[in-house]
Chains A and B, each alone.
Chain A
Amino acid sequence: MTTGSSSRRRRPHRRPPLLLVVLAGLGLAVFAIPLFGLLVRTPWVEVPGLITTDVVLEALGLSIAVSLTASAIALLVGLPLAWLLARVEFPLRWLVRGIVTLPLVLPPVVGGAALLFALGRRGVLGEPLYEATGILLPFSVWGVVAATTFVSLPFLVITVEGALRNLDERYELAAASLGARRWAVMRRVTFPMIAPSIVAGSVLTWARAFGEFGATITFAGNLAGETQTLPLAVFVALESDRDAAVAISLLMVVVSLIVLVALRDRWWRSL
């Protein structure tokens, strides 16, 4: 009863410190100014025409397909990886943690180059793969997926690993004491309890994949209709047709913003 009445009491109104507001405003400007530049430069009337050309629609389709595929792969291999990193002590775990987060700080171009050395036609793994199956990753749509997965996977792994480490393991022990076997514990307790982080990690992964540029262009090239994703289309358009570049950029901003805003309030209170 007492807590009910006190929570309803209004908190004394206090103005936030001015210095804080000014600095926070500068922080916001970092994001807002480029966006503003884009909006000012947008040829609004022509936008519908500019973003419905075959090149743009193909690039949009490829970007959506590739980013969703990368997210799916991230879930498939990233969840187990996060679980191992969080729950199993193994030798050199510190090193594995570092390697997993490396793509976050590595220039994507370097990542793409590394992929080329590993999976290119003469790469360490690429050559035997090509000779055995005839599959060539570079400059193919699967190359785009590989490059995109490389840069985006860490977002899922670190988000989920953090959630697993914060999860009170005693819930899993409680489940075991109630007769649940390992898989049942994971299915009925562990994963449902960290579901918000899994969703958040997937969305971050998707967003990073959707915007991926450097590794893709290095490893998969820039073939319109084949490996050209939206960011690459922007890059090409900047050289030839500024208005198209602005329009495609706007398209990316809108798509990304819709997804992020829609999910942020529901799932991201922890982020």
Chain B
Amino acid sequence: MSTAGLQAEIQVTRPEGFELDVDITVRPGATLALLGPNGAGKTSVVAAIAGLLPLDAGRIELGGSVLDDPAAGIFVAPEDRRVGVVFQDYLLFPHLSVMENVAFGLRRWVGRGEALMGAGEWMERLGLDGLADRRPATLSGGQAQRVALARALAGRPDVLLLDEPLAALDVVERARQRRTLAAHLDMFSGPRVLITHDPVEAFLLADDIQIIEHGSTTQRGDADEIRLRPRSQYAADLAGVNLVTGTASGGEVAVGSHTIHVADHQVEGEVLLTIQPAAVSVHRARPSGSQRNSWVTRVDRLEQLGERARLRTSEPLPLTVEITRAATQDLGIREGSEIWVALKATEIDVVPDEGRAGRR
């Protein structure tokens, strides 16, 4: 195992009974996104690595040295860890100027004058020149985010933790900062952990994605794996794909009272089906051809997304379906319309649902 990166087995029980049990590994120069809904425990992961939340069990190792290991009686205080944190709402010190904020973490290494000089260099690197004497309250969201990043990086950390760094920004600013953040992250050669609930942010900024739900990891992989083979409803919703659970037997999967034919005849038992919205075709009448999966349903909801339209079908198997806008017009589809949907068996991705089977 490499010693230069971050390895953490984090087990914490919070007073209100919430249990967090997450393992993460990040190599230097790589970005791991922890993606999950609010309240999943992502921020606690950051707090544990930063030493603000002591572990109940597990172990945190950074750059070859152990930061927290309750079993061995090791706990390194936050101020003795070399951890750079960009906090959720930045937490810039309101009584200090931008430059003094950036210099704050340098003071542990050098005197005031040298710290301010070092801060100046970081501010230049992050495009903050000219803001040195401003107070944090007068900054735009994007500027504040970059000051927070400069402050975290200036302290020469061994790991960079970013807790929802773009969540405080408005939509336009977020898109812009996402691009610059990607460039800024490359300035840091150590391991980086990005906490986010925005899949786009995770897909764009991270090398690996780990999905955290209810205090534990539900999936780990790169962006394509998460998108094409989501393993939980949450992940599927993020990716916009349909995720259906059922019971497989000889190429047939029972989903409630409905049966879906799949190409894989080997898989048995509890399965997860992933159906891409664009893989479903829509017709006015029973489709001819060889498709074995087709049924009649109704359009519950219809959304126009530029040249594409997204519709939500009702019983017997609610699905999100994506077709061209032209097709909705040709077929005269509106909310409440009765339609036929069809689905090729080969378009359905089937994986054993280990999580569900394991809980049995």
Contacts and interface: CB of A to CB of B under 8 A. Distances in A.
Interface in B35-87: 50-52, 77-81, 83-85, 87
A173 to B, nearest CB: 5
Contact of A178 (B52, B95, B151): B151
A195 B96 CA distance: 13
A180 B87 contact: no
Contacts of B78: 173, 176-177
A21 interface: no
Chain A interface residue bracket vs B: 10 to 19
B94 interface: yes
Contacts of A49: none
A193 interface: yes
Contacts of B308: none
A174 B95 contact: no
A44 B80 CA distance: 67
B215 interface: no
Contacts of A36: none
Given A176-B52, A177-B85, A179-B155, A171 B79 contact: no
Interface stretch (B103-111, B251-259, B299-307, B316-324): B103-111
A192 interface: yes
Interface string A156-183: 0000000000001011011111111100
A177 B94 contact: no
A168 B77 CA distance: 20
B104 A180 contact: yes
B107 A193 contact: no
A194 to B, nearest CB: 10
Nearest to A189: B93
B91 interface: yes
B104 A170 contact: no
Interface of B: 50-52, 77-81, 83-85, 87, 91, 93-96, 104-105, 107-108, 151-152, 155
Interface of A: 168, 170-171, 173-181, 184, 188-189, 192-193, 195
